[in-house]
Amino acid sequence: MFELNEEQTQIRDWLHGFAAEVMRPAAAEWDEREETPWPVIQEAAKAGIYSLDFYAQQFFDPTGLGIPLAMEELFWGDAGIALSIVGTGLAAVGVLANGTEEQIGTWVPQMYGDPGAVKLAAFCSSEPDAGSDVAAMRTRAVYDAVRDEWVLNGTKTWATNGGIAHVHVVVAAVDPALGSKGHASFIVPPGTPGLAQGQKFRKHGIRASHTAEVVLTDVRVPGHCLLGGKERLDERLARARERERGGGERVRNAAMATFEASRPAVGAMAVGTARAAYEVALEYAGTRTQFGRPIIDNQGVAFPLADARTRIDAARLLVWRASWMAATGKPFTAAEGSMSKLYASEVARDVTAMAIQVLGGNGFTREYPVERMHRDAAIYTIFEGTSEIQRLVIARTLTGLPIR
């Protein structure tokens, strides 16, 4: 586990080359434009990086390291552009976590398209009043038995690729009385009437990634667009109702199944950003002279760099452990997935701030990339479960208590 095999090394080096040669030169421009970097995504598609085959190959790496290796290298290149390249993956994971084999085979390929016609997908879970509090979700899905259709109404927010995606995966409440256990996921096919983009957000960081509201007004989708199918949903709801009465097995939430699978990958993204900032700071400290010597000769600069490298390596190991556990079927008995995301995200926040400090006034300008990296790093402690929520998950797992 601590030594990459030849294939993993080749893939890592290939991705690093793409990140260095294609993504980094374009990073500042697309950050300023705050637009989806379609030309870079198309280059990634031509290279075979933005494709279902590539992500499937990494996903099924028996060691579990394929996805974190890919995430670290791409986000080392640039977090905003990387999120535009990998954002479709969250929707794909939503289908993989909740869908049938037929649904996976039908919809996941459509999320990517091909190099000649690149497509995107969006996973829509958060709402204006339901972010961390998923039980407060107001988007409703009502079954029309006569037409075998589900009717969706509500507003989603913070959706990566929301409104511009070819395929949307939407989490909605089918039984509000059950709270988060009464949720289900739905595919909204391209061109479905009633789905529209709402507000596009202008963000502090990851500005090359499109983030917007998705408004659903009487959106009708066929019955077969319910991920997992109605029979499985009815069984799950029945178990949830039985548990509400004091018996039965624990029922997993549809959105949480997606986030549980993706948390170590988010940790790997954070590691990539932290590593990038650390490398800039290390190089700068070795070449910047003050009082007749490189500033790295001073403990006040060298020690923070030493701490940064130590924490980055520790974060990577947590990510790799969680990814390996998930791939080999070992349960997260101590919420290891949340641990990896929590620690790596806070490392990215702290290391990018350290890099600005090492560069001094230069670090505060857009002439150097660390200010952008710091802005980008802020998202890791927020999206796919804030640091506070990760701590709650870990604490509940360790104690078995409903800590609030």
Task: Point out the residues that are catalytic.
Answer: 384
Residue with tokens 């980008």, as numbered in its chain: 376
The 3-state DSSP class for residue 403 equals coil
Nearest to 76 by CA among 350, 353, 373: 373
User: How many C-beta atoms surround the C-beta of residue 85 within 10 A?
Assistant: 26
Cβ–Cβ under 8 Å, residues 55 and 90:
no
Q: Are 59 and 71 in contact (CB under 8 A)?
A: no
Tokens of 288: 């910047």
Structure tokens at 272: 């990539």
Q: Which residue has the tokens 């403990």?
A: 299
Q: Report which of 227, 252, 273 is spatially closest to residue 92, judged by C-alpha positions.
A: 227
**Angle value at C-alpha 380, between 3 and 390, nearest 5 degrees:** 90
In the block, residue with structure tokens 């705050």:
34
**3-state SS class at 100:** coil
Tokens of 141: 């899905």
- What is the DSSP code string of 132-184? S-GGG---EEEEETTTTEEEEEEEEEEEETTTT-SEEEEEEES-GGGGGGGEE
Token representation of residue 319: 């990510």
Residues 6+ apart with CB under 8 A from 255: 125, 134, 171, 180, 183, 185
Q: Which residues contact 143 (CB under 8 A, 6 or more apart)?
A: 149, 150, 151, 174, 223, 230
Residue 59, amino acid: F
